[in-house]
Chain A
Amino acid sequence: MKEHIVSIWYLIGQIMVVYGILIGGAGIYYCFYPPPEQLALTHLHADLWWGVFMLALGVFYLSKFRPSKTKN
């Protein structure tokens, strides 16, 4: 049986989940231990929200394009 290539979107989903966890995790850490060097708009916790966004996008791609559902 011919092997099909995994969808590129599935691969992108994988790295987004990993990055989302890392960046969002860093965001949670800095909520409790704020960095001494103040960046602009630190109070918005962009890292936390961006991490959550990437994680959600990654999970969406993993579920929508998982190999059993798609051919390419």
Chain B
Amino acid sequence: MTVQQAGGRRSRMDRWLSFNGWFVFAFLYLPILVVIVFSFSGAANVGIWGGFSLRWYERMAGNEQLIKTLENTLWVALWSTIIATVFGTAAALALDRYRKWISRGAFDAILYMPVIIPDVTMAVMLLLWFTQIGLPLGRLSIVLAHIAFNISFVAIVVRSRLAHMDPSMEEAAADLYASRWQAFRRVTLPLIMPGVLGGALLALTLSLDDVVITSFVQGPGSTTLPVHVFGLIRRSVTPEINAVSTLMVTASMILVFASLAIQRRGQN
């Protein structure tokens, strides 16, 4: 009797949980769905349905300035993510490994600074730094700025993964005559991979939607899509922005699914 009761309660609980799951999904994705639907609207106003049409996609494809900013955005996001992921992961490993290092606490605090200082402060510091060292501003300076804040985020995510890792795994590998590189490549890296991928995706997202820092450190001709869109909204919003957003959402969905697929293939 008790078993049955518990079972009944559990299934009610399950139902409730699954309802909650759908509710959360709806809460997160309905606004995105609205944007996607209205990007196919023929009306000239955001939020008014004017029959199915691809006119905003056509207009977007024909808008050279917008395409140029999209190109800049993708270029910056790709390079800053790759580089920040490598350095961020390395920093996380270093901090995790060398616990006895005296200045570790200080280094820890410095590494996390970009997470808590306001965007504008970081933007002005980076701008002054770049001009002091004579770096010409442009796509390169934007990439460097994005790496600067992304390293911290990647490091934090990877460290949270490392904290759950059993150090005896690596020791076992060493006992079995694995070189340090082999132990890292065959044991540590696969174990922290979800953290590395999570960090990389976070870095990519942050890079894709950064406005404040980018608008300060941009140089001639390197305006990115978020900076462009932000400027547009100050004047008036056209459904063209819906089309751009749909494209960006689709692209990030593909990225997420790809990373999931890679992880799953790894498991099999």
Do A and B come together as binding partners? no
What is B's interface to A at a CB cutoff of 8 Å? none
